[in-house]
Amino acid sequence: MVKVAITSDNHFDVNQLDSGELLKQQAMVLADRHVDYYLIAGDTFNDFEKTVAYVDALQKELGTVTKVFFLAGNHDMAKGVSYEELETPINAHYLHNRYVDLPGTDWRIIGNNGWYDYTFAEQLFDQLSEADFATWKRAYWYDGVIKQPMSDPEREDIVLAQTATQLLAANTAGKRILYVTHFVPRADYIRITDDNRFRNMANALLGSRRLGDVLSKGGVTYAQFGHLHIKPAPRLLDGVTYFNQSVGYFTHRITEWEHHDFMDEWINRLRILDLQ
């Protein structure tokens, strides 16, 4: 049996936390729980280089027993990395468009950062063009600072093609699949309102309906995502069990935690899967 722990959206800098001290505490918890693999599904820092430094330091603290892998969320992508670099194996722990086979099992972990294509705002398509969504993003959304050499739907096309290729290879190899991404893969988690235009515009930038279709058709057993700072129970949707283990924000303006201490919140949100 292999123990896999998953988390996302720790947001150390937004939450003004001492990650150097906290990673030591996290390492102790992971070691005490005999975790073999620790997966971070994005949004660790607002700077890719800081995320890499944290992951490298956490791996050093853990030694060789627990292996750490991470993805880049939109916050990690905002500084310290280019789109072209994100599409390369820039760090040994970076899981984007890569897979890890769990020894002694038929399980494969597949990672992809993910992106979005505005399909969670389909109700606005008759009013707004693709250019309208892109303009709104640059004006009002954090991701406006992220540079990329294509449109958002085109970037999501690449995500879907990468994912389909990885899933086909896993199925051909007879593997059960744990898929890890940052962005939202199902409309079931999206709240659409009649009176909040900002929310409905923001929905466009949360993920893709199309990814959920690819995962269902691709034989995925488990899928972990983040981005939304919500605390849902695991949900079985079209054959895939979905997890969101986001930690989220605890600031003077936004209080999303159920506990006042980061470690208590992180432990409460940590999901450990026993894969055999």
C-beta of residue 96 within 8 angstroms of C-beta of residue 72: yes
pTM over 0.75: yes
> Which pLDDT belongs to residue 267?
98
Torsion-angle region of residue 104: left (phi > 0), alpha (psi -120 to 50) or beta? Answer: left
C-beta of residue 142 within 8 angstroms of C-beta of residue 42: no
Average pLDDT over residues 61-74: 97
Token pair, residue 45, equals 């820092």
Domain regions of the chain by residue span: 2-275
- Reduced to 3 states (helix: H, G, I; strand: E, B; else coil), residue 140 is helix
**Separation in Å, CA 172 to CA 101, 139, 213, 219, 222:** 14, 44, 19, 11, 18
C-beta of residue 174 within 8 angstroms of C-beta of residue 219: no
Q: pLDDT of 152-188, one tens digit each?
A: 999 999 999 999 999 999 999 999 999 999 999 999 9
Q: pLDDT of 202-255, one tens digit each?
A: 999 999 999 999 999 999 999 999 999 999 999 999 999 999 999 999 999 999
> Which pLDDT belongs to residue 194?
83
Q: How many CA atoms lie within 13 A of 200 on its CB side?
A: 13
What burial class does residue 1 get, using C-beta atoms within 10 Å of its C-beta: 0-12 exposed, 13-18 middle, 19+ buried?
exposed
Give CATH for domain 2-275. Answer: 3.60.21.10
